Chains A and B, each alone.
Chain A
């Protein structure tokens, strides 16, 4: 240890070695202040582990688990915020409210229908695209072909949603085009319908399907496909017997990510949907506007959504995916 610190301090180093570094860090590490504080701490194995682990563990417990825990806690309280003279009691009443009223549980069912259908449609639409980029495009042009698909997603949720309005509005591009070629006399109401909402969801989430699928298909060795072709397997057989099973991990993680993302989308349904397409996030948000006395009910609703969404994703991963499947 003694020889180590001599070297770090640079006292015994030949003079030529010092100017090789251009950063100011070495000076800091060689300073007596560093040696007596941080340097001393990391020379001991226990304090070194504490230094490494303290911030990550505090952050994960406080910020990754803390909010969910607080939400669970408040969902079980009779009133919040805690007022003077009115001590909150432990109750399941906030959860019972959910089942009491179709106005409350219908949006959750609707959210599940939209998220599931959007996931299925996205898988069907994106799979051929991912396969094309991973296996048909020449390797040197592959990253450009993938980049072309990534660019639109940098627009983000709000701008993407707004762009869909340009396409589907009554005086939007599609209706005006159909009118000009004489197919319709009056605009078809596309916007603020289930169609526009589904269209927008698929548009915004397909990236989460594209990347896992692409990396899974990319890993399938080309010679497996060539061998199958030599043995007389047609394109359909090759797809069913080789490509589909070997891209299972990508399908599972892509579908799970898309499902969990689309069920939690808040702005898009409010801008693209209509009165018949109120989804659960909008229902939940109603409890958080204005005074905070409805928070326990909102927290209970959010817990119901979180648990049901994660359970659905977990069951799906267990059934379709193998043991090795991971989400990220």
Chain B
């Protein structure tokens, strides 16, 4: 009796965990299951199963174009955000005291500004500098959003770096640029890799910035949003399932990658 009572909190916590896992996975599982429904409308029970929606989606030109466009935007965003984010982190790491703290706070600002406000302010901003909406504006918006995360990841890794590594390189005759590319950058490798994958996921997932900064070419979230608003069919489920599988694979690879490099 006594042991049962002592184990009660543990049992409750275990149930809370698995309940939460169920809560997270149930809607996604239902969404994926619905992609196999052999009917033109979304409704449970599924009844008749089919693979046709996938064949249809795989040949759907707007979907494939949206995929390609999302990948393009994510790629450009990742490149820009990584370079700028690492650069900012390098500056913060060499700035001490209050100025460093202010710099860090400003570098993180876009991560705490609510998404809608960020999107609106960027929309106004690009109009004041006469930049048209479209790919460049989307990439700019996504980059602003992604930079703080790269900064935090790179800075965490920089702070764990023994200072004497760079000192040794300098003693051996490397100037700051050489020391950065030959010593600091390789040391930052895992953090940069993790940050880049995070940038990709942030960009692929972003809706609100793309909505206000985009032109007529839809990204994946915009396409799905338009389809959900325009009347639903299991076609959307097939699209969403494919996207989910790809982003899931990218995310899992990121976990594997950062874990492997952390243990090294």
Segment at the interface with A among B51-59, B168-176, B187-195: B168-176
Residue of B nearest to A264 (CB): B114
Interface contact A66-B88, CB-CB below 8 Å: no
A261 contact set on B, CB distance < 8 A: 114-115
Cβ of A291 < 8 Å from any Cβ of B? Answer: no
Cα of A21 to Cα of B89 in the assembled complex, Å: 27
Residue of A nearest to B252 (CB): A151
Q: How far is the CB of A217 from chain B (nearest CB, A)?
A: 12
A284 contact set on B, CB distance < 8 A: 116, 120
* Most chain B Cβ neighbours within 10 Å, of A136, A162, A310: A162
Cα of A159 to Cα of B205 in the assembled complex, Å: 9
Interface size counted on chain B using CB atoms at 8 A: 92
Cβ of A233 < 8 Å from any Cβ of B? Answer: no
A281 contact set on B, CB distance < 8 A: 114, 116, 208
* Most chain A Cβ neighbours within 10 Å, of B14, B20, B236: B20
Q: How far is the CB of A184 from chain B (nearest CB, A)?
A: 14
Cα of A125 to Cα of B229 in the assembled complex, Å: 30
Q: How far is the CB of B40 from chain A (nearest CB, A)?
A: 14
Residue of B nearest to A13 (CB): B173
Interface contact B207-A158, CB-CB below 8 Å: yes
6 closest Cβ pairs, A-B complex: A264-B114, A7-B173, A156-B205, A163-B27, A67-B121, A171-B43
Segment at the interface with B among A88-96, A244-252, A301-309: A301-309
Q: How far is the CB of A127 from chain B (nearest CB, A)?
A: 9
Interface contact A43-B175, CB-CB below 8 Å: yes
* Most chain B Cβ neighbours within 10 Å, of A25, A59, A136, A172: A59
Interface contact B178-A8, CB-CB below 8 Å: yes
Cα of A70 to Cα of B131 in the assembled complex, Å: 14
A-B contact count (CB 8 A): 264
Cβ of A18 < 8 Å from any Cβ of B? Answer: no
Interface contact A167-B172, CB-CB below 8 Å: no
B25 contact set on A, CB distance < 8 A: 152
User: A56-B91, A63-B110 given. 19 additional CB < 8 A pairs?
Assistant: A29-B178, A42-B175, A52-B87, A55-B87, A59-B147, A63-B144, A64-B106, A129-B20, A132-B17, A133-B17, A136-B10, A158-B207, A158-B221, A159-B31, A165-B228, A166-B30, A173-B26, A302-B117, A328-B108
Cβ of B240 < 8 Å from any Cβ of A? Answer: yes
Interface contact B17-A129, CB-CB below 8 Å: yes
Cβ of B211 < 8 Å from any Cβ of A? Answer: yes
Cα of A68 to Cα of B124 in the assembled complex, Å: 9
Residue of A nearest to B212 (CB): A288
Cβ of B140 < 8 Å from any Cβ of A? Answer: yes
B21 contact set on A, CB distance < 8 A: 148-149
Selected A-B contacts with CB under 8 Å, 15 pairs: A8-B175, A52-B87, A63-B143, A132-B13, A132-B14, A149-B24, A156-B204, A158-B224, A162-B224, A173-B44, A176-B43, A266-B119, A285-B120, A328-B148, A328-B152
**Per-position 1/0 for A271-288, Cβ under 8 A of B:** 100000000110011001
Interface contact B128-A136, CB-CB below 8 Å: no
Interface contact B31-A81, CB-CB below 8 Å: no
Cβ of B125 < 8 Å from any Cβ of A? Answer: yes
Cβ of B160 < 8 Å from any Cβ of A? Answer: no
* Interface residues, chain B, with chain A CB atoms under 8 Å away: 9-10, 12-14, 16-17, 20-21, 23-28, 30-31, 34, 42-45, 84, 87-88, 90-91, 94, 103, 106-125, 127-128, 140, 143-144, 147-148, 152, 172-178, 181-182, 201, 204-205, 207-208, 211-212, 220-221, 224-225, 228-229, 232, 236-237, 240, 243-244, 247-248, 250-252, 255, 259
**Per-position 1/0 for A121-150, Cβ under 8 A of B:** 000011011011100100000010101111
Q: How far is the CB of B247 from chain A (nearest CB, A)?
A: 5
Residue of B nearest to A144 (CB): B255
Cα of A148 to Cα of B259 in the assembled complex, Å: 15
Would you list which residues of chain A between 35 and 71 have a CB under 8 Å from chain B?
Answer: 38-39, 42-43, 48, 52-53, 55-57, 59-60, 63-68, 70-71
Interface contact A132-B16, CB-CB below 8 Å: yes
Cβ of A292 < 8 Å from any Cβ of B? Answer: yes
B114 contact from A71, A163, A260, A288, Cβ within 8 A? A260
B27 contact from A4, A148, A167, A313, Cβ within 8 A? A167
Cβ of A213 < 8 Å from any Cβ of B? Answer: no
Cβ of A164 < 8 Å from any Cβ of B? Answer: yes
Interface contact A169-B42, CB-CB below 8 Å: yes
A136 contact from B13, B84, B119, Cβ within 8 A? B13
Cβ of A203 < 8 Å from any Cβ of B? Answer: yes
Interface contact A162-B240, CB-CB below 8 Å: yes
Cβ of A160 < 8 Å from any Cβ of B? Answer: yes
Interface contact B109-A65, CB-CB below 8 Å: yes
